[in-house]
Structure 1
């Protein structure tokens, strides 16, 4: 059943997000205001080297948690998601990814936001120098894929785009080489 949108009004705007109240009518005729958060498109990059994945250890003040994440960030105006994925990976890790292939397209909270996330896979990278922004993460590391399931269970990996990418690779649902299992 499709909802009818009669209009929307902006409540708040910034370069990071816009908050709207949408005048919606649900099937059956009930009409009310529904919050809508509009966000720029974002990207993540899963960089593999045979049996390891490139990740950043960072603090998220919004949830007061530390966790391992794939490098990623906003898509700049006029920039393609693929180009943003390469740029963000190098800025956050110092590693320049090789050829990128789309791994997944995600709408993380479709009930309240129009957020779109594009996830890319690179099967090699070249070290280009230190990360551009030291505030992006506490550290950068190549994490063994064999360690990932236990890290997820311990809540050391919790971000949605990171989880989607890792499960795609671990389950063999991508064109990435099959991960080696620990002996």
Structure 2
């Protein structure tokens, strides 16, 4: 079998954008509709949400995970999540992670490491979250934005796993962080 170079493999299903209609520009996201040419030559449309990207922090203090509880309007319910927030234009993800940790929880950290990054919903959005592990925490004062209403608590791994079962934790970034923490506790590696 003939070897294909990685560019050919990566592009074999490429959809070429023929036209873009910008539908909405919000404070955080924008929506566009792209007309695309499919690999078979036919035309189709793609609705795409553009997002500046975000960071999230798995913060461990005294063998507990620091979480925040807040109301999520799209879900019409409260959620328990790890601290997170959007990237400002040109902002370094690690700097943003330290900022969000401080703002939402009041904690500073002595050690921060990259865990991984991932796309939240690549079928319709380009949002990428960069996930960090923060340790050696010291507590200070929360610095919430004026439109942020949340509470902060620390939970055990067992509580986190139970919250996943109960759907109190149901967002991808927090579930990913809980399972990364579980692996970290078992192996000592992130």
Normalising by structure 2, report the TM-score: 0.85
Count of residue pairs brought into register by the alignment:
178
3-state DSSP of counterpart to 1:136:
coil
1:137 and 1:175 map into 2 onto residues whose CA distance is 36
Aligned to 1:158: 170
* Farther off after superposition, 130-139 or 44-53: 130-139
Contact 1:168–1:174 (CA under 8 A) maintained in structure 2: no
Aligned to 1:171: 183
1:76 and 1:16 map into 2 onto residues whose CA distance is 10
Aligned to 2:128: 116
Aligned to 2:140: 128
1:5 and 1:163 map into 2 onto residues whose CA distance is 34
Aligned to 1:142: 154
Specify every segment of 5 or more residues in structure 2 that has no aligned partner in the other structure, as ranges.
Answer: 1-12
2:159 and 2:75 map into 1 onto residues whose CA distance is 24
1:94 and 2:86 are equivalent in the alignment: no
Hey, which bits of structure 1, 4+ residues long, moved more than 6 A?
Answer: none
Give the one of 50, 53, 56 matched to 1:38. Answer: 50
Aligned to 1:66: 78
Contact 1:50–1:177 (CA under 8 A) maintained in structure 2: no
1:24 and 1:175 map into 2 onto residues whose CA distance is 45
RMSD of aligned alpha carbons: 2.1
* Farther off after superposition, 2-11 or 140-149: 2-11
Pick closer, same or farther for the CA change 1:168–1:174 going to 2, 3 Å.
farther
Aligned to 2:17: 5
2:178 and 2:77 map into 1 onto residues whose CA distance is 19
Q: Which has the larger radius of gyration?
A: 2
Specify every segment of 5 or more residues in structure 1 that has no aligned partner in the other structure, as ranges.
Answer: 179-183
Normalising by structure 1, report the TM-score: 0.88
Aligned to 2:4: none
Structure with the largest fraction of helix: 2
